[in-house]
Copies of this chain bind each other. A is one copy, B any other.
Amino acid sequence: MKLLGGAWTPNIVWRLSGDPRRFSELRDDIPRISAKVLSARLRALEETGVVTRSVISTSPPSVEYALTELGRELVPVIQAILNVGTKLAHRRAAATR
């Protein structure tokens, strides 16, 4: 489970499933994540080969993160987890009634 270890990891991968995104864009996408955690997760994902990190030396500099091919394979998986989670939430709500 080192692959999806962090609580935020699936969310981050999810946000990258479309176009590559920059650091601050990810921060806007996931408002409640702290810079520290975001950079920690991105580092970990880069190490495991799920995302790539490209520094663009402009002024100000920007950094783009994108999923690797294998990283893309995680997207439907995350989708599936989300589905089950949603169903469980619904079933729980139904049980309340």
Contact = CB atoms under 8 A, between A and B. Distances in A.
Interface of A: 1, 3-5, 7, 9-10, 48-50, 70, 73-74, 76-77, 80-81, 83-85, 87-88, 91-92
A91 B87 CA distance: 35
Contacts of A4: 1, 4, 81
Nearest to A90: B70
A48 B28 CA distance: 30
Contacts of A3: 81, 84-85, 88
Copies of chain A in the complex: 2
A6 B50 CA distance: 21
Given A4-B4, A4-B81, A70-B91, 16 more contacts: A1-B7, A1-B9, A3-B81, A5-B7, A49-B92, A50-B88, A70-B87, A70-B88, A73-B83, A73-B87, A74-B81, A74-B84, A76-B80, A77-B81, A77-B84, A80-B80
